[in-house]
């Protein structure tokens, strides 16, 4: 990194919490522990239970893995910042945290897209016929190999986009204040420390968000439009309820994830205070990784049955 006068970064965390710091610390620590336990449990259950060997549950383990990576990257520093009124970290450590944050968020967006496509196939195309009149089932479309290719694509693209952005940011000169009023290293606070022109970086960020944020969101939206239309066309109320149950958990997770994400990046900074930005950031970096396993375990009868059998 050429031309850097700043060698360390100070993350302020939440300096205005005062007497509530210990309470917030205990709450976030509890959420973090349950998040790790819940996501790890899902990975273990799916890997050990043959009845859960399907693309849907395999994708769920990857989502859990992404959540573990995200929370482990963010929460420990957040907890330290709460107790010590901010933490010091090297510039390289800050950029490394930003890299893994970007990689996990990008991969999660892509995995949610693949999961929505999987639900689209399961509900809208459970049985089709080829021109040669051979039946084409969901199981023949979303095979284990196809699912694996989707997953590999999601992880590689997510990490590649994050690496591209991180490498370009590392080439900037940082010579302004080394204080970031946040609890982790996010792109906008990092760029605020640079005395170089950041126009190219911001344009690159907009370009890179299309394959990992905009396109996945569009695919998710279109998939669920087709899913809802298909469900409403079903004659049987029982079939409708079963179909909604099949995709309801995923839709809830997607809504929470994208709702918090868009609240951060689509609302201009001038339209939201630093405190509000931090709160939304906590939602998708700390709360959402806990909500995911809770939703999938409480709303999924296969997961609940597997948990009962192993208790």
Task: Give CA–CA dist 247/229, Å, rounded.
Answer: 13
Spans in the chain with pLDDT lower than 50? 1-2, 128-135, 271
**Each residue of 161-187: pLDDT tens digit?**
999 999 999 999 888 778 898 899 989
Question: ∠101-103-108 over CA atoms, to 5°?
Answer: 95
Tokens of 42: 């899902």
- pLDDT for position 235: 79
Reading the block at residue 101, the tokens are 């944050």
Give the pLDDT confidence of 50-80 residue by residue, as tens digits.
878 888 889 999 999 999 999 999 999 999 9
Q: By C-alpha distance, which of 217, 198, 107, 83 is closest to 160?
A: 107
Longest dimension (CA), the chain: 72
* CA nearest neighbour of 303 among 55, 32, 60: 60
Query: What is the per-residue pLDDT for 72?
Result: 95
């Amino acid at each position: 990194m050429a031309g850097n006068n700043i060698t360390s970064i100070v993350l302020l965390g939440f300096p205005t919490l005062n007497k509530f710091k210990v309470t917030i610390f205990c709450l976030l620590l509890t959420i973090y522990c349950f998040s790790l336990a819940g996501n790890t449990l899902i990975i273990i259950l799916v890997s050990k239970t043959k009845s859960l060997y399907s693309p849907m549950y395999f994708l769920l383990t990857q989502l859990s893995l992404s959540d573990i990576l995200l929370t482990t990257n963010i929460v420990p520093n957040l907890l330290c910042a709460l107790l010590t009124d901010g933490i010091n970290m090297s510039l390289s450590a800050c950029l490394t945290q930003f890299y893994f944050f970007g990689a996990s968020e990008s991969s999660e967006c892509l995995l949610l897209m693949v999961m929505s496509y999987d639900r689209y196939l399961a509900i809208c195309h459970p049985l089709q016929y080829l021109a040669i009149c051979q039946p084409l089932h969901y199981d023949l479309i979303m095979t284990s190999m196809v699912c694996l290719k989707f997953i590999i694509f999601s992880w590689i693209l997510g990490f590649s986009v994050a690496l591209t952005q991180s490498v370009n940011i590392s080439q900037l000169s940082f010579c302004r204040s080394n204080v970031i009023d946040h609890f982790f290293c996010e792109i906008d606070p990092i760029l605020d420390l640079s005395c170089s022109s950041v126009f190219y970086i911001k344009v690159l960020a907009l370009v890179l968000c299309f394959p990992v944020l905009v396109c996945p969101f569009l695919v998710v939206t279109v998939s669920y439009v087709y899913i809802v239309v298909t469900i409403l066309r079903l004659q049987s109320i029982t079939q409708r309820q079963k179909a909604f149950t099949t995709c309801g958990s995923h839709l809830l997770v997607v809504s929470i994830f994208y709702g918090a994400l868009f609240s951060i990046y689509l609302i201009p900074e001038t339209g939201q205070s630093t405190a509000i930005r931090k709160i939304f950031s906590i939602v998708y970096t700390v709360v959402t990784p806990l909500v995911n396993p809770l939703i999938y375990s409480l709303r999924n009868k296969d997961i609940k049955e597997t948990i009962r059998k192993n208790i």
